[in-house]
Amino acid sequence: MERTSIRLGGVELASSVMNASGARSAERGEIYELCAVHGGAIVFKSCNRAGLETPENLKNRGVEFFQSIATELTARNKKVIGSVVGASEEEFIDVARILDRAGASIVELNLADDYVTKSVAPFASFERLKSLLGRVRGETQCVLAVKVPPRVPFEPRAIADLFKSMRITIAVCANDLPKDLAIDVASGTVQGPPRTLSDAHAFFRESENLLDVVAVGGVNTGRDAYIAHLTGATAVQVGSALMKEGAGALGRIDRELDSILAEHGHKSVSEIVGIVRFSR
Ligand SMILES: Cc1cc2nc3c(=O)[nH]c(=O)nc-3n(C[C@H](O)[C@H](O)[C@H](O)COP(=O)(O)O)c2cc1C
């Protein structure tokens, strides 16, 4: 087993590092390029039923396009994570079901985008969120992940408990650590009193081993990935670094993470998930 391989939501992945949805994952060529250079999971661009031309950040070719790529990749044992957006509950269910049946190991419901907030408004009430997730869960077999927007109007505990009760086993959360975080990486110690360090950390603290956290945002180096793992992430997603640097960014971050793990005597990345400590 490689040092950076991990089990996420019960799915074995060759690396805890993966692309963030949308970063070089909208077109067939981009997806195959990422698959060629990195052994971990591939996360597809968020897609809806028929495709979108606007908003620009959600421009996609529609679920059937991703369905055919998922079928091809899963036949080659590649772990595929589909990402869903929609303007209605029905569209979410429909798209999630199609990706599930195409063989995606994990389906990520993108509840973090404005497009979704303005249409489905999943966080307008707890009942709304429960209804959407319950209906998608009822229609799919795969592991389900939810990409949670920052600053949701409910306590992380309430959302985490809802996920657990609905067998949603992955929360994709903002890795919004303080910029000036003073951390001794070798010992995993953060200066100051015990506190919540990021959205990802907040969800990890409510996870009770029933929920895995994926941290997204600001992961540009192996050190960033290592700190995200220390603060509770089972896996990390890389967006901007991949856009800037190209597909090779994932392998670089994986190798850097591997070196830091080795340097600190860890045989597996799973040993450091959530072990951050505080010094007063
Ligand atoms: C070009 C681009 C396209 C994106 N498209 C999506 C998308 O379709 N679905 C989604 O959930 N997030 C999308 N995102 C957001 C990323 O998944 C990620 O949350 C964000 O870039 C933060 O990570 P970073 O700091 O590593 O960039 C996109 C980001 C970029 C840069």
Q: Are 91 and 63 in contact (CB under 8 A)?
A: no
User: 72: buried, middle or exposed (CB in 10 Å: 19+, 13-18, 0-12)?
Assistant: middle
Q: Which two three-digit tokens encode residue 252? A: 């670089």
Q: Are 168 and 35 in contact (CB under 8 A)?
A: no
CB of 136 closer than 6 A to ligand 1?
Answer: no
Atom of ligand 1 nearest to the CA of 108: 11
What pLDDT, on the 0 to 100 scale, is given for residue 1? 58
- The residue ranges of the chain whose pLDDT is under 50 are none
Domain residue extents for the chain: 6-279
CB of 149 closer than 6 A to ligand 1?
Answer: no
Q: 205-256, pLDDT tens digit by residue?
A: 999 999 999 999 999 999 999 999 999 999 999 999 999 999 999 999 999 9
- Report which protein residue has its CA nearest ligand 1's atom 26: 239
CB of 218 closer than 6 A to ligand 1?
Answer: yes
Collapsed DSSP state (helix, strand, coil) of residue 57: helix
What pLDDT, on the 0 to 100 scale, is given for residue 280? 77
What pLDDT, on the 0 to 100 scale, is given for residue 200? 98
What pLDDT, on the 0 to 100 scale, is given for residue 151? 85
For 6-279, which CATH class? alpha beta
Say whether the peptide bond before residue 178 is cis (omega within 30 degrees of 0).
no
Any idea of the CA torsion for 147, 212, 173, 163, to the nearest 10 degrees?
Answer: 50
